[in-house]
């Protein structure tokens, strides 16, 4: 018996292994390439910190001081990292997250520091959400019954957007999953003359257990969960609806979050929309790899690059990852 795929003696005529034989040929035919410019580094800055404060559930990640934040930003930029996403941890939190809209609040101060350190050499981004600033830990302001008040929260986001843009953020990342947040922020920015400030919308953000270590990172006091505003992990079509709404409301880029358990969502969105798609490899994804590697169960460096490659392969044009600086160094 012979067919098109069998050669003499029934051995294969077509041998896919020929293109896997040497590093050179594998490199030639690689379908996915990682580049430092694809990576966005999330950074935490803690008001009043005199020394960087380690985050125990994220080994290797710290809450920066203003000074070490500048150094970390400089290092990332010198390695060609595509963007920096800043998160601020204030020394005092309250019910409406006042520190988030204070022009001298820690996030705004840090944005000014980073802008003066690296200028336009990378894209400076800021998390636009109230949870780091509220004493109840929710992403918005609460009604008397304890539920999150969508429209009152939008007004707070509009104020935050303006102070962040004025502090030097090039791109804002609304991450609170309130309905209408992108349009509301876009209109507020435009009305204040910030028509050039762009929006990276956390469009498809799931209510995920993978954010666990982040709660330590931002000293969150959240009781309960975010199921009434973040998406149900069971849903996929809903992500498309969220993404299309955000694009209609003026989002310049959209994001899927977390990344690895949601690569099907990344692929669908990348196939269906024509704006850049980012994916956020979140704290729990980082922590799992670090913990397994620390136990000697997996090869850390290999797995880090494999995770990043798989997120790119799924269709993400940018990846937020706590390994951005390290991965950029490896890529050089």
Site for ligand PBG (CB under 6 A): how many residues?
9
Sequence-distant (≥ 6) Cβ neighbours of residue 55 within 8 angstroms: 44, 61, 62, 63, 213, 216, 217
Clarify whether 205 is annotated catalytic: yes
- In the numeric block, which tokens belong to residue 25? 């040929």
Choose, from 71, 93, 257, 330, the residue flagged as catalytic: 257
- In the numeric block, which tokens belong to residue 283? 């704290």
For strands 83-89 and 171-174, give the pairing.
unpaired
Is residue 242 involved in binding ligand PBG (CB under 6 A)? no
Q: Which is nearer to ligand PBG, 87 or 113 (CB)?
A: 87
Choose, from 71, 93, 205, 330, the residue flagged as catalytic: 205
- Interface residue with ligand PBG among 211, 229, 262, 323 (CB under 6 A) is 211
- In the numeric block, which tokens belong to residue 300? 């850390």
> What are the beta bridge partners of residue 204?
256
Look at residues 224, 205, 211, 216 and name the one whose alpha carbon lies nearest to residue 146: 224
Contact 170, 198 (CB under 8 A): yes
- Touching ligand PBG, residues 118-157 (CB under 6 A): 127, 129, 131
Q: Which is nearer to ligand PBG, 78 or 235 (CB)?
A: 235
- Interface residue with ligand PBG among 133, 214, 262, 323 (CB under 6 A) is 214
- Touching ligand PBG, residues 173-202 (CB under 6 A): 175
Sequence ranges of the binding site: 215, 226, 242, 283, 322
> What minimum distance in Å lies between the beta carbon of 6 and ligand PBG?
51
Q: How far apart are alpha carbons 153 and 142 in whole angstroms?
A: 8
Q: What are phi and psi of 192, to 5 degrees?
A: -90, 5
Angle subtended at Cα 119 by Cα 116 and Cα 121, rounded to the nearest 5 degrees: 145
Q: Which is nearer to ligand PBG, 122 or 283 (CB)?
A: 283
> What minimum distance in Å lies between the beta carbon of 183 and ligand PBG?
19
Sequence ranges of the binding site for Mg(2+): 242
- Which residues are designated catalytic? 205, 257
Positions in the binding site for ligand PBG (CB under 6 A):
127, 129, 131, 175, 211, 214, 226, 282-283
């Amino acid at each position: 018996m012979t067919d098109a795929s069998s050669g003499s003696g029934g051995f294969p005529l077509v041998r896919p292994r020929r293109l896997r034989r040497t590093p050179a040929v594998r490199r030639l035919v690689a379908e996915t390439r990682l580049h430092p410019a694809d990576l966005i580094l999330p950074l935490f800055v803690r008001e009043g910190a005199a020394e960087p404060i380690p985050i125990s559930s994220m080994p290797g990640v710290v809450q920066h001081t203003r000074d070490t934040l500048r150094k970390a930003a400089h290092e990332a930029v010198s390695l060609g990292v595509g963007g920096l996403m800043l998160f601020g941890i204030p020394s005092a939190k309250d019910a409406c997250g006042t520190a988030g809209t204070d022009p001298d609040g820690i996030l705004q101060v840090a944005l000014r520091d980073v802008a003066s350190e690296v200028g336009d050499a990378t894209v400076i981004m800021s998390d636009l959400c109230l949870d780091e600033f509220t004493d109840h830990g929710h992403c918005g302001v609460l009604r008397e019954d304890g539920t999150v008040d969508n429209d009152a929260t939008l007004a707070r986001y509009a104020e935050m957007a303006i102070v962040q843009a004025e502090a030097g953020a090039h791109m804002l990342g609304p991450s609170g999953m309130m309905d209408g947040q992108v349009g509301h922020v876009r209109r507020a920015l435009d009305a204040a003359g910030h028509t050039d400030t762009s929006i990276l919308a956390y469009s498809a953000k799931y209510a995920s257990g993978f954010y666990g270590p982040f709660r330590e990172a931002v000293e969150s006091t959240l009781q309960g969960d975010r199921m009434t505003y973040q998406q149900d992990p069971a849903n996929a079509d809903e992500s498309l609806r969220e993404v299309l709404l955000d694009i209609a409301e003026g989002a310049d880029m959209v994001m899927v979050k977390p990344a690895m358990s949601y690569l099907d969502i990344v692929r669908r969105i990348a196939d269906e929309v024509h704006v850049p798609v980012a994916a956020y490899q979140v704290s729990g994804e980082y922590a799992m790899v670090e913990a397994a590697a620390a136990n000697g169960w997996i090869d850390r460096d290999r797995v880090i690059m494999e995770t990043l490659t798989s997120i790119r392969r799924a269709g993400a044009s940018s990846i937020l990852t706590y390994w951005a600086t390290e991965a950029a160094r490896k890529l050089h």
